[in-house]
Amino acid sequence: MEDMKLTHAREFTDIEDSVLDIWLELENAGLESEARAVLDTGLMWEHYTSLLDNDPDKRAMHEIVNAAALATKFNAAVAVGQQAMRSRGLGSRTPLASTFATDRS
């Protein structure tokens, strides 16, 4: 039997890992405001996800909608960061383009 707590922990840890990778790359490129936006929106999404029920089938519709809205805000911040990287002629070591789908539940 699958341990739902471990699965849920992996869900929000995957979000946090990606958020921190993208944040660090933007920060190292000197894109402080873009990095801050990625960190803020990403950690809000990650922390909210961590509070959801371990079993995705037990999550309320409004929780799923809220998580999707937070993911959308994160993806928008990443897109701004991508544009800033391109405008400075910087390549990306981290795949900034591979943002998360908004339906992760």
Which tokens hold the place of 67? Answer: 């998580």
Domain range enclosing 44: 4-87
Per-residue model confidence (pLDDT) at position 90: 83
CA quadruple 81, 82, 85, 86: dihedral, nearest 10 = -150
pTM above 0.75, yes or no: yes
Q: Is residue 105 part of a domain?
A: no
Q: How many domains does the chain have?
A: 1
Q: Is residue 36 part of a domain?
A: yes
Q: Is residue 98 part of a domain?
A: no
Q: Is residue 97 part of a domain?
A: no
Q: Is the pLDDT of residue 103 over 60?
A: no
- Give residue-wise pLDDT tens across range 23-54: 999 999 999 999 999 999 999 999 999 999 99
Q: Is residue 100 part of a domain?
A: no
Q: Is residue 20 part of a domain?
A: yes
Q: Are 39 and 16 in contact (CB under 8 A)?
A: no
Q: Is residue 71 part of a domain?
A: yes
